[in-house]
Amino acid sequence: MEEKKSNPIKVILYISLWVIIWGTLSSFIDYPLYKNKIYLEGSIYQYLTFTITAIISIICGKFFYKKIEL
């Protein structure tokens, strides 16, 4: 059987897309929490928000990577 070779440019673009998705989603979640003074800027909760969404983004990125052919 022949092994599938992935195109490095497509892989870099795919990872870049997921970083953009992660940052956007994190910001959409963070903004109302920050504006409603649920937590302060730079607090551990803000870091936690971005960390949790990063973990979710990594899991989703790996899942969809297996589904598409790059």
Structure confidence by residue, pLDDT tens digits, 38-63: 999 999 999 999 999 999 999 999 99
User: 10 lies in a domain?
Assistant: no
Q: For residue 26, how many other CB atoms are within 10 A of its CB?
A: 19
pLDDT band per the 50, 70, 90 thresholds, residue 69 = confident
Range(s) of the domain holding residue 53:
15-65
User: 4 lies in a domain?
Assistant: no
Contacts 24+ apart (CB under 8 A), 61-64: 61/14, 61/15, 61/18
Write down the pTM of the prediction: 0.80
User: 59 lies in a domain?
Assistant: yes
- Enumerate residues 6+ apart whose C-beta is below 8 A from 49: 26, 29, 30, 33
User: 19 lies in a domain?
Assistant: yes
Give the chain's domain count: 1
User: 6 lies in a domain?
Assistant: no
How confident is the model over 10-33, as pLDDT tens digits?
A: 999 999 999 999 999 999 999 999
Residue 3 has pLDDT above 70, yes or no: no
